[in-house]
Structure 1
Amino acid sequence: MTEKSESSLARMLSVLDLFSDQQLTWTAEAITEALQVSLPTGYRYVKMLTEAGLLQRSADANYTLGPRIIVLDHYIRMGDPVLQHGVAQMQELVEQTGLDCVISCLYGQQVLDTHREFGTTEATLSYGRGRPRPLFLGAAPKVILSCFTPAQLHRVFDEHLDEIVQAGLPTDWSDFRKYYSAIRKAGSYFSNGELEPNLAAVGVPLQKPDGTLLGAISLVTTVPRMAVIDLPKLTQRLTRTAQEITARIP
């Protein structure tokens, strides 16, 4: 494949990045304008992606993401080693605690929930599978970032300073690093109304013995219910589950 064809392929696939919570449908003309390509090129991209099932055309001539993505998501679930070895452990933890259990993973610099087992108390979480979570709010993202090397964390600090300010985190690099070092030393993070005002969560990293970071596992419930739970005991139980899951992953 030539450099030109690689560039064209990358630009065509970038059509998929245009879709978001704020804009779920696009016309071929709007896609062309957003990518700043010629109209024939934009139509060709849309045609090829539609034929591949990655886009589909609706009755009003708009395009949405296509059914092939649902199929690919199924394969992702089936092939995810964390889910292969972790779902049964999550279900057992839910039976023991009655709380929701969530596994979150890092993809590039996006934290995504990949699976959730529901407990006995309704805890409505607006961030489900596939919807990127804020990088600096909540238990799962914070324990994940706490496992970064200083160089990795510094890169995140440099690239997301505005979000760090909005999250109320230290804006001095030294203090920012100390903040996450403290979470790493504790081995867990407790979030009380931080991501959503009615929810509390405790999270621990999913990290293999060799240091490989796989994500995070969290227990989530309402703020009032968490207030009457023995948090240290709950954190110990969650930590054991995380260790059991990572021990099973080759």
Structure 2
Amino acid sequence: MTGFSSVTALETRRGASSLEKMLGLLDLFTATAPAWATDDLIRVSGTSRSTCYRYIKALQAAGLLTPVAGGAWMLGPRIIELDRTMRLCDPVTAGGVPAMRRLAEEVGQTGLLCLLFSGTVMCVADAPAPGAPEGLFSRGQRRPLFTGAASKVILAHLPPHQLRAIFARHRPTIAAAGLGGDWESFRHALRAIREAGHGITQSEFLPGILGVAAPLFNAEGGVLGSIGIAAKLDSVPDSGRAALAERVMAAAKEACAAIADQEQLAALPARAVG
């Protein structure tokens, strides 16, 4: 099975270094295109056959790619090892998962733990509630920075200079997300989220789903991610949203304290913003 669903990501590296191009091959492997034939990798890599062979062999030697039947390649077992290390050592994961799980159990809704990653928001852990609909955010999935409570609450706490750069690059997308068509409207929308201490959205990814999230910070006060819940709209009456938001913010406070206990790791800056 081969596919081209991530070719666009690779094409953005046409002027990149050799190392960036080699690592860019990994972007091609997705749930919809998990295996790639060697010839297809060569075709989309933008390099010569010999160069692409070197990339593939280097990735195989590192355990990041592994050969499968039919001369194809899939992601390698080294990624599983790295994932385990991430689960154990990442300060957001280590500090936030216990609070996220307690939150999910106490409110009876799906818990989500997310972090800022390269201009997107990635789910690093989830605790699905019984009967939760399929398609909710889960570990390893990414979503845009401008849509959904888990994303917007992170966006609202980025430094002003980053927000200005983001607005300049993504103005149409920001307007479409209901965050304002001009800089002042954008600032006002984000200020409202900051002042509330949480974000609430509904039906922004799946119809009938309510999202509530609060930000997570490192020891220096830089935003790292968010913690929150996803619930069926009809399971949370309007009168219950304030109490749910308070519980989410309490979980965020608990998680931030645990992240701060990670000592040196807790001082890591917020992830890159694209």
Which residue matches 2:102? 92
Classify the secondary structure of the residue corresponding to 1:200: strand
Question: Which residue of 33, 43, 57 maps to 1:33?
Answer: 43
Contact map agreement 1:29 1:42 (CA 8 A) in 2: no
Question: Which residue of 45, 53, 61 maps to 2:63?
Answer: 53
Which range moved further: 8-17 or 75-84? 8-17
Classify the secondary structure of the residue corresponding to 1:84: helix
Which residue matches 2:213? 203
CA separation in 2, counterparts of 1:35 and 1:130?
24
Which residue matches 1:219? 229
Which range moved further: 18-27 or 78-87? 18-27
| 1:32 aligned partner, one-letter code | I
**Structure 1 runs (4+) greater than 4 angstroms displaced:** none
What's the CA shift string for 1:53-109, capped at 9, x where partnerless? 211222122222222112211111111122222222222222221111111100121
Question: Which residue of 86, 107, 128 maps to 1:76?
Answer: 86
Which residue matches 1:128? 138
1:106 corresponds to 2:127: no
Number of residue equivalences: 245
Question: Which residue of 69, 73, 85 maps to 1:63?
Answer: 73
| 2:170 aligned partner, one-letter code | H
Classify the secondary structure of the residue corresponding to 1:73: helix
Contact map agreement 2:136 2:230 (CA 8 A) in 1: no
Which range moved further: 236-245 or 154-163? 154-163
Q: 1:183 to 1:237 in 2, by over 3 A?
A: same
CA separation in 1, counterparts of 2:68 and 2:245?
48
Q: Which TM-score applies when normalising by structure 2?
A: 0.82
Q: 1:160 to 1:62 in 2, by over 3 A?
A: farther
Which residue matches 2:183? 173
CA separation in 2, counterparts of 1:79 and 1:208?
14
**What is the RMSD of the two structures over their aligned residues, measured on CA atoms?**
2.1
Deviation at 1:126, TM superposition (A): 4.0
CA separation in 2, counterparts of 1:230 and 1:245?
23
Classify the secondary structure of the residue corresponding to 1:216: strand
| 1:200 aligned partner, one-letter code | L
Classify the secondary structure of the residue corresponding to 1:249: helix
CA separation in 2, counterparts of 1:53 and 1:208?
32
Deviation at 1:209, TM superposition (A): 6.3
Deviation at 1:208, TM superposition (A): 4.4
CA separation in 1, counterparts of 2:255 and 2:138?
21
Q: Which TM-score applies when normalising by structure 1?
A: 0.89
Question: Following superposition of structure 1 onto structure 2, how do residues 115-194 of structure 1 map, counting pairs within 5 Å?
Answer: 115-194=125-204
Which residue matches 2:257? 247
Which range moved further: 161-170 or 200-209? 161-170
Classify the secondary structure of the residue corresponding to 2:126: strand
| 1:81 aligned partner, one-letter code | P
What's the CA shift string for 1:124-171, capped at 9, x where partnerless? 334321121122111010000000122111222222334335434423
Which range moved further: 109-118 or 227-236? 227-236
| 1:163 aligned partner, one-letter code | T
Which residue matches 1:3? none
CA separation in 2, counterparts of 1:227 and 1:242?
22
CA separation in 2, counterparts of 1:121 and 1:114?
21
Which residue matches 1:18? 28
